[in-house]
Structure 1
Amino acid sequence: MSIAVEHIATDQPPDDSKARDLDYGWQSGNRVQLLENGEAYFPAVFEAMRDAQREILLETFILFEDKVGHELQGILIEAAQRGVKVVVSLDGFGCGELSPAFLRALAEAGVIVQMFDPASKTLGIRTNWFRRLHRKIVVVDASVAFIGGINFSADHLGDFGPEAKQDYAVQVIGPAVADLHHFALAQSGRQVRARRGWRRRQQRPSPWADEHGDGLVRLIYRDNIQHRDDIEEAYIHALSQARQRVVIANAYFFPGYRLLREIRNAARRGVQVQLIMQGQPDVLLAKLAARMLYDYLLKDGVVIHEYCQRPLHGKVALVDDEWSTVGSSNLDPLSLALNLEANVLIRDRAFNQQLYQSLEALARDHCQTMPAKRKPRLWLWRLTVGFLVFHVMRHFPALASWLPAHKPRLKPIESPAHDV
């Protein structure tokens, strides 16, 4: 018996040629709610799924067989059994340890499970490291959507212990959900009906504005085809317009020179610029790489905090008192040049203030602030290593693209005769 698991390569455009270049504009009349950590995220997502009547679309980088993964599995199975169409897209690296029994239970209930770029281990090591499906999107009944950096794993809950992650997502209700729904369908390979007058309709005032809210929301994403730089360009544009404040909280921070320059230039203009980095990283290299950039930023007035309570996994930012972004994209070469990512841009003063208050409390209560004038220590070594690391990281995506593991293939797989 075959498990109904489809293997997709969403590095490639959708089959529907009219949906090949998905470019979403600003949508008005949305209500956006900040969800901090699994304590807020999982109950909201699971409640929406339990109430689903027609469809659940889910994309995630990581799904573990822990208490969160098993609860999700049960909800999806129950939804599929009552006639809800359920499509689950998983990453072959982040979800590579899922057991055949776990996948079979979903498939036998009617859940469509798709695996992006699966690969078996070579000498016990997984080789499909790069160009990952790193997005975290859930859309239920095309009426409510969730997007952010939170995976379906118990390490996003505080009771996981010292390694529990600090992270953020948003719930969106309103016209922008149609864009997220359209995008999720297209990227999962489902049939998508082309929309005539797409851009023109986006500019009209939404009839939902009074019902849902007044937040402007825009979906942006990066792929390895036509939208390679969209997320990076959104950051650069927002930073170039900053006049009052900038707060960036990002787990893996090693951006290119253009983005670094805009951060520095904002501080030089007198903008209050704060960066919140990992102080207790789950990947030590991430902390070492970010620290290579500290002197460059500190000397121009950027304030750098290191979050020390637990690993920081967030990918959020705000500029002035209106613009914000939440999503899956880190500010490092993997996210900005290789992975498949998605963020939402939000123009809403109330949401901006809510996010600002959350990040300010994080910086005040749980971070250590780097001294503005640090004593020069081993400066020549730091300069040399920083130069080498920076340029290796900048050119790494181009080099990595030549590796065979970066060319996803569509492969059917057969379930084993018995569980292993």
Structure 2
Amino acid sequence: MSLRRPTFRPPRSSRWVSGNHFELLENGEEFFPRVFDAIRGAQREVVLETFILFEDKIGQELHGALLAAAERGVEVHVLVDGFGSPDLSDTFVGQLVNAGVRFRIFDPGRRFLGQRLNLLRRMHRKIVVVDGELGFIGGINYSADHVADFGPEAKQDYSVAARGPIVAQMHRFAREAVLGRTRGRPQQPPAGATDPESPRAGTADAIFVTRDNHQHTNDIERHYRVALRSARHRVVIANAYFFPGYRFIREMRRAAKRGVDVRLILQGQPDMAIVRTAASMLYDHLIRAGVRIYEYCDRPLHGKVALVDDEWSTVGSSNLDPLSLSLNLEANVIIRDRAFNDHLHGRLAHLMDNSCKQIKATPPGRFDGLRLLRSYFVFHLMRWFPTWAGWLPRHEPTITMVRTPATQTPSASDAPAKASGRNAGLAA
């Protein structure tokens, strides 16, 4: 009796939605003006969630746009992470709340001896939806270190502006998330259905995919692995914090060994020293399989983007490290569009050609017992981390509505809401 090999099944959240248009926004110089103009032009609603919001020049400009929108009657919802945005002043938040902004904090936590203890399971997404029609998603936070005039520590990063039916999914998810009503992804519409408020805007297919600690614990990683498995001629991954799991590394090596041009762009000037140290432990293992590794050296790389072959691309908030892949709440959009893929490839190729150094493998024949032992340890740490992550301390994070003193008494509908799953993480 012959045994049939089981057919590979793609991730659950894998329904392509057609009729979308995406525009790549590189760095704060392109991203912030588009978002702020969209908020200034909002007619009905703004839903915004972010990991980091600082009271610097970028935060103040966002503050002004949100304040003006609320004062003219736009319904404004804001959700910030309690660890990523810990020092917002009462004046900054109070002005928004007094104007009618529904301002919420994901797991504000408490300090002990001045130290924040709510390090794990963070709300790391960066999503904006305006009037249910225009969406933004990516890795850019609301802080001045995302624009070049910040100096050598300014971050290199990416986001997208989206129009089309995929925005309806982003809108449903983001609205439910800021209200604390979702434990996973929103229900997908029937195949072929189009939201009447999100007409077709282009020719791109897309999937809106999220990661939580309840129902969708590894959806983003699985989409990456499916794309790597299907790659035929090129893969480019640019990611700020790279320390993925065993299966992810295995798919990269397999793609390179079958002749795919696999390139990895990582931080050469990291914002945290441990980032480069951790990633460098994987270099020889990947390079010896044929993966080309480049370190971006102009400034810290904060991007979370990738492309495979001529159509598949992804942009979002998810790093490829244990925090994003096993702990944080994340959101990416996956795009199937040749023009967008080609444009993203051109931008990443420009980085590799002009601002990166290629890493070479350790010379053959050199025996380094400590390096061998270290690589073995790291390899198996990656392999089992998703299991160990489940043992880490966890609690049920809350989403807390900020109130002015005059309205301190909560109503039943606005009591702190339980957050999505056993949620989320850390690196920006």
TM-score category, normalised to shorter length: 0.7 to 0.9
Task: Kindly tell me the number of residue pairs found equivalent between the two proteins.
Answer: 392
Does residue 250 of the first structure (1) align with residue 239 of the second (2)? yes
* Cα contact 1:298–1:373 (8 A) shared by 2: no
Partner of residue 63 from structure 2, selected from 73, 77, 81: 73
* Cα contact 1:323–1:348 (8 A) shared by 2: yes
Cα deviation code 1:189-225 (max 9, x no counterpart): 2779x99982334489x9944xx21011110010000
Q: Secondary structure at the match of 1:56?
A: strand
Gaps of 5+ in 2: 1-11, 407-428
How much does 1:406 deviate?
4.3
* Cα contact 2:293–2:358 (8 A) shared by 1: yes
State the partner residue of 1:144.
Answer: 134
Q: Secondary structure at the match of 1:76?
A: helix
Q: Secondary structure at the match of 1:77?
A: helix
Amino acid at match of 1:368: K
Q: Closer, same or farther in 2 for the Cα pair 1:312/1:196, shift >3 Å?
A: closer
Amino acid at match of 1:130: L
How much does 1:42 deviate?
0.2
Q: Secondary structure at the match of 1:200?
A: coil
State the partner residue of 1:283.
Answer: 272
Does residue 263 of the first structure (1) align with residue 255 of the second (2)? no
Q: Closer, same or farther in 2 for the Cα pair 1:374/1:121, shift >3 Å?
A: farther
State the partner residue of 2:310.
Answer: 321
Q: Distance in 1 between matches of 2:372 and 2:126?
A: 37
Does residue 370 of the first structure (1) align with residue 359 of the second (2)? yes
Amino acid at match of 2:51: F
Amino acid at match of 1:200: A
State the partner residue of 1:123.
Answer: 113
Cα deviation code 1:314-347 (max 9, x no counterpart): 0000000000000000011100000000000000
State the partner residue of 2:189.
Answer: 198
How much does 1:67 deviate?
0.1
Amino acid at match of 2:320: L
Cα deviation code 1:62-115 (max 9, x no counterpart): 000100000000110110000000000000100011112211111111111110
State the partner residue of 1:62.
Answer: 52
Alignment of 1:21-420 (within 5 A): 23=13, 25-189=15-179, 198-202=189-193, 208-209=199-200, 212-372=201-361, 374=363, 379-392=368-381, 395=384, 399=388, 401-402=390-391, 404=393, 406-409=395-398
Q: Distance in 2 between matches of 1:67 and 1:134?
A: 22
Cα-Cα RMSD: 2.5
How much does 1:371 deviate?
1.6
TM-score, length of structure 1 as denominator length: 0.87
* Cα contact 1:305–1:368 (8 A) shared by 2: yes
Q: Closer, same or farther in 2 for the Cα pair 1:103/1:382, shift >3 Å?
A: same
How much does 1:121 deviate?
1.4
Q: Closer, same or farther in 2 for the Cα pair 1:166/1:406, shift >3 Å?
A: farther
* Cα contact 2:242–2:319 (8 A) shared by 1: yes
* Cα contact 1:147–1:171 (8 A) shared by 2: yes
* Cα contact 1:25–1:199 (8 A) shared by 2: no
Q: Closer, same or farther in 2 for the Cα pair 1:374/1:79, shift >3 Å?
A: farther
* Cα contact 1:133–1:341 (8 A) shared by 2: yes
Q: Distance in 2 between matches of 1:416 and 1:379?
A: 63
Q: Closer, same or farther in 2 for the Cα pair 1:279/1:101, shift >3 Å?
A: same
Cα deviation code 1:230-267 (max 9, x no counterpart): 00100000000000100000000011111101101100
State the partner residue of 1:5.
Answer: none
How much does 1:384 deviate?
1.8
Q: Distance in 2 between matches of 1:54 and 1:207?
A: 14
Gaps of 5+ in 1: 1-21
* Cα contact 1:119–1:126 (8 A) shared by 2: yes
How much does 1:413 deviate?
7.0
How much does 1:25 deviate?
2.6
Q: Closer, same or farther in 2 for the Cα pair 1:215/1:78, shift >3 Å?
A: same
TM-score, length of structure 2 as denominator length: 0.86
Q: Distance in 2 between matches of 1:379 and 1:213?
A: 54
